[in-house]
């Protein structure tokens, strides 16, 4: 099943030479793979009909006839991790009673199958779906009411752990900046190809749309967008990203939403804006009554507030349709400007004739919506200097960063205002969560000292210094005098001569005779431990004999000499010191950057 890898097949055939519609064609290997996928489900497939395909992306959908009735088999063209996000969203909406096709599980209880490097799903086939009227206002209101219902169903969705995360809610600003940048590209292309038919026409309208984009972007930056997105992705739910008259159709009990494989976290009014602006472009003029009707229908299903309505207005005012129709000039400039661009610009400019008149009237409706609950949050400007430590350079503060002392009052205030959760075990064995205030100060670890001595907390001291203090206090070793100088270089890092050279404060110890050295305690032979040691003891080998045995070992002339390994000297019965090299701070930084936590922060 995994031998064939699904790849786009739009370069295999050309419609001009073969006469085949690529959207109604899939490679034979993909069709065989589809039959293999069906074997993972508890159903008998009697027939399979290709509905449509995406030859440029590698996706397809079939209607299959089974013993359980008609069903849909779909291969999702995105990566399996990204597709799991949309599959989980579809199951979430079904669980909340939403009108989306239910996903059929496999024999193993999975909601999907991975084959050919792609994700496959089987869903119910809704036979009675019919599109609503596109230009008719009643049909458009029905469609947008169904969109509002879908958005309300998706609120609170959290993807599975193994799924990828698709979110556009934080990318509005970068999306606007990208469009403004590419409008600047249009100017360079028009100047680079002055002989093209539509080049003068393009250059004549660029100033108008470029100024529109700058003005609307300035208003966007002054909006409540940043406060709104602080609510989080799950608060807003999912946007379909491709909702329209083909993906929202009338069925049992209302509008059914299909083709959810492109859903992503986003402000939901992005879907509504796309419907409004694309329909106005098709109509050739902006219709105020039509726009008010669809917004009101959406509002009844998913209520809007004043801040959300303002973002909808801003998104409608931004030159999205101009960019959508003209961006092809970047990929094939000469051909596009000579054949298509002139007519496109005529239609776009004609549609813009009454756009701003309608938008000015629509802006007055903003006062009819209640204000949302978006409290002001202290902004953290990324351009301001911030304090951090360069752990690869010995944990020293980086130049240019704000001193850590200036951040401590803010951190203390946040810590005092935060709360902690305590787990309380009941007598019956159950666990109860108790929320309580965090203590104003962290408990400090106090070392027990002699009676009458003052106890000093060890919080804030480096771990190595704390250990030395504890060891010194336990052993009764006197403290170092305050005026005594301390070597800035560790003893183990000094050269061999310096390390062996005695200092003025410490003199070399004189060798003691063997009889005067402290001897280890010996176990009595009559005790149990002594008898066990005596019974298991091996015959002793004298040092001279062992040395002679080592010298008499014969080595092959081809055998490499064995290097002497370093042996630790400080070995006793109670503890063994390890001389293994500790990982450096740079290794910790590298491991953290490669971790899932860092990837989540970067994302």
Contact (CB, 8 A) for 103 and 91: yes
DSSP conformation class of 446: B
Residue 578 has pLDDT above 70, yes or no: no
Q: What is the pLDDT of residue 18?
A: 61
**Which tokens in the block code for residue 594?**
């490669």
- The C-alpha atoms of residue 52 and residue 206 are separated, in whole angstroms, by 38
- pLDDT at residue 476, rounded to an integer: 62
How far apart, in whole angstroms, are the C-alpha atoms of residue 380 and residue 377?
9
Among 39-48, 391-400, 492-501, the minimum mean pLDDT is found in 391-400
CB 121 within 8 A of CB 259: no
What pLDDT, in 10s, does the model give residues 126-149?
988 999 988 789 999 999 999 999
Topology (CATH) of 128-375 = Aminoglycoside 3'-phosphotransferase; Chain: A, domain 2 (3.90.1200)
Render pLDDT for 349-392 as a digit per residue (tens, 0 to 9).
Answer: 999 999 999 999 999 999 999 999 998 755 444 443 333 333 33
Per-residue model confidence (pLDDT) at position 376: 77
Segment 429-457 shows an average pLDDT of 53
Lowest-pLDDT choice from 117-121, 270-274, 450-454: 450-454
Mention every residue, 6+ apart, whose C-beta is less than 8 A from residue 542: none
pLDDT at 17: 47
Read off the pLDDT of residues 286-317 as tens digits, 9 standing for 90 and up. Answer: 999 999 999 999 999 999 999 999 999 999 99
**pLDDT tens by residue, 101-115:** 999 999 999 999 999
Beta bridge partners of 69: 66
Residues in the chain: 603
Q: Are strands 118-124 and 113-115 parallel, antiparallel or unpaired?
A: antiparallel
- Convert the pLDDT of each residue in 189-242 to its tens digit: 999 999 999 999 999 999 999 999 999 999 999 999 999 999 999 999 999 999
Q: Does 466 have pLDDT greater than 60?
A: no
Rounded percentage of the chain residues whose pLDDT exceeds 70: 61
- What is the pLDDT of the chain when averaged over all its residues? 78
From residue 4, how far is each of 12, 30, 32, 473 by CA, in Å?
A: 16, 8, 10, 70
pLDDT tens for each residue of 313-350: 999 999 999 999 999 999 999 999 999 999 999 999 99
| Residue-by-residue DSSP string for 282-330 | HHTS--HHHHHHHHHHHHHHS---HHHHHHHHHHHHS-HHHHHHHGGGG
Spans of all domains in the chain: 1-126, 128-375
C-beta separation of 460 from 467 below 8 A: no
State the SS3 of 215-270.
HHHHHHHCCCHHHHHCCCHHHHCEECCCCCCCCEEEECCEEEECCCCCCEECCCHH
Flag whether pLDDT at 399 surpasses 70: no
Query: Residue 390: its pLDDT value, please?
Result: 38
pLDDT greater than 90 at residue 445: no
Band the pLDDT of 410: cuts 50, 70, 90: low
Provide the pLDDT confidence category of residue 590 given band limits of 50, 70 and 90. confident
The Cα–Cα gap between 156 and 91 comes to: 13
Could you tell me the pTM of the whole model? 0.63
pLDDT at position 567 is: 47
Give the DSSP per-residue string, 13-48: --HHHH---GGG---HHHHHHHHHHHTTSSS-EEEE
Residue 470 is predicted with a pLDDT of 59
Residues contacting residue 447 through CB under 8 Å, at least 6 positions apart? 455, 456, 458, 469, 470, 473
pLDDT tens-digit series, residues 542-565: 444 544 444 444 455 455 555 554
pLDDT per residue over 174-183, tens digit each?
999 999 999 9
Structure tokens at 568: 């630790």
Q: How many helices (H) and strands (E) does the chain have?
A: 22, 14
Q: Is residue 186 scored above 60 in pLDDT? A: yes
Among 88, 40, 36, 80, smallest CA distance to 59 is for: 80
State the CATH class of domain 1-126.
alpha beta
**CA distance readout (Å), 112 to 38, 77, 125:** 11, 14, 16
Q: Give the single-character DSSP code of 419.
A: E
Q: How confident is the model at residue 568 (pLDDT cuts 50, 70, 90)?
A: very low
Residue 23 pLDDT grade (very low, low, confident, very high; cuts 50, 70, 90): confident
487-509 pLDDT per residue, tens: 444 444 444 444 445 444 444 45
The pLDDT confidence band at residue 184, using thresholds 50, 70 and 90, is very high
What are the respective helix, strand and coil percentages of the chain, to the nearest 5? Answer: 45, 10, 45
Are the beta carbons of 239 and 151 closer than 8 angstroms?
yes
Per-residue pLDDT, 453? 53
Residues pairing with 36 in the sheet? none
CB 214 within 8 A of CB 106: no
Q: Residue 11: which pLDDT band, with cuts at 50, 70 and 90?
A: confident
């Amino acid at each position: 099943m995994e031998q064939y890898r699904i790849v786009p097949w739009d370069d295999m055939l050309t419609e001009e030479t073969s006469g085949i519609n690529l959207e109604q064609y899939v490679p034979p290997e993909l069709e065989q793979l589809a039959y293999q996928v069906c074997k993972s489900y508890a159903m008998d497939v009697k027939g399979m009909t290709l509905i449509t395909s995406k030859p440029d992306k590698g996706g397809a959908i079939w209607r299959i006839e089974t013993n359980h009735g008609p069903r849909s088999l779909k291969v999702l063209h995105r990566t399996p991790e990204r597709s799991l996000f949309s599959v989980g969203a579809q199951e979430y909406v079904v669980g909340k009673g939403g009108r989306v096709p239910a996903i059929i599980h496999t024999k193993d209880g999975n909601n999907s199958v991975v084959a050919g490097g792609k994700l496959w799903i089987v869903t119910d086939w809704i036979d009675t779906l019919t599109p609503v009227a596109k230009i008719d206002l009643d049909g458009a209101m029905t469609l947008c009411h169904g969109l509002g219902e879908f958005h309300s169903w998706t609120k609170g969705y959290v993807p599975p752990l193994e799924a990828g995360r698709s979110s556009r809610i934080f990318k509005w600003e970068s999306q606007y900046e990208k469009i403004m940048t590419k409008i600047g590209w249009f100017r360079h292309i028009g100047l680079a190809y002055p002989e093209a038919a539509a080049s003068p026409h393009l250059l004549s309208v660029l100033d108008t749309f470029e100024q529109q984009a700058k003005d609307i972007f300035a208003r966007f930056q002054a909006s409540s967008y940043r406060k709104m997105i602080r609510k989080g992705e799950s608060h807003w739910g999912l946007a379909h990203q491709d909702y329209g008259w083909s993906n929202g159709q009338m069925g049992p009990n209302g509008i059914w939403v299909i083709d959810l494989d492109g859903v992503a976290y986003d402000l939901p009014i992005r879907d509504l804006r796309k419907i409004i602006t694309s329909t106005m472009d098709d109509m050739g003029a902006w219709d105020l009554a039509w726009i008010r009707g669809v917004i009101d229908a959406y509002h009844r299903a998913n209520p809007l507030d004043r801040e959300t309505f303002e973002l909808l207005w801003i998104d409608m005012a931004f030159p999205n349709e101009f960019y959508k129709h003209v961006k092809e000039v970047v990929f094939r400039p000469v051909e596009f400007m000579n054949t298509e661009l002139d007519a496109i610009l005529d239609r776009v400019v004609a549609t813009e004739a009454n756009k701003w008149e309608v938008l000015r009237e629509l802006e007055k409706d903003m006062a009819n919506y209640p204000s949302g609950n978006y409290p002001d949050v202290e902004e953290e400007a990324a351009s301001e200097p911030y304090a951090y430590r360069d752990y690869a350079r010995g944990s020293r503060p980086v130049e240019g960063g704000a001193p850590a002392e200036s951040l401590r009052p803010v951190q203390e205030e946040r810590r005092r205002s935060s709360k902690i959760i305590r787990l309380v075990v009941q007598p019956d064995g159950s666990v109860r969560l108790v929320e309580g205030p965090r203590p104003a100060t962290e408990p400090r670890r106090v070392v027990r000292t002699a009676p009458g001595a003052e106890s000093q907390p060890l919080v804030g001291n480096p771990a190595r210094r704390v250990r030395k203090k504890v060891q010194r206090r336990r052993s009764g070793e006197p403290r170092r005098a305050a005026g005594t100088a301390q070597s800035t270089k560790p003893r183990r890092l000094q050269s061999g001569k310096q390390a062996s050279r005695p200092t003025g404060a410490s003199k070399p110890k004189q060798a003691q005779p063997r009889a005067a050295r402290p001897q280890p305690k010996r176990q009595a032979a009559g005790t149990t431990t002594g008898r066990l040691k005596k019974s298991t003891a091996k015959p002793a080998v004298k040092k001279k004999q062992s040395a002679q045995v080592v010298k008499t070992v014969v080595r092959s002339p081809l055998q490499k000499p064995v290097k002497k390994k370093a042996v630790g000297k400080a070995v006793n019965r109670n503890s063994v010191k390890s001389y293994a090299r500790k990982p450096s701070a740079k290794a910790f930084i590298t491991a953290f950057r490669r971790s899932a936590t860092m990837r989540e922060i970067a994302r």
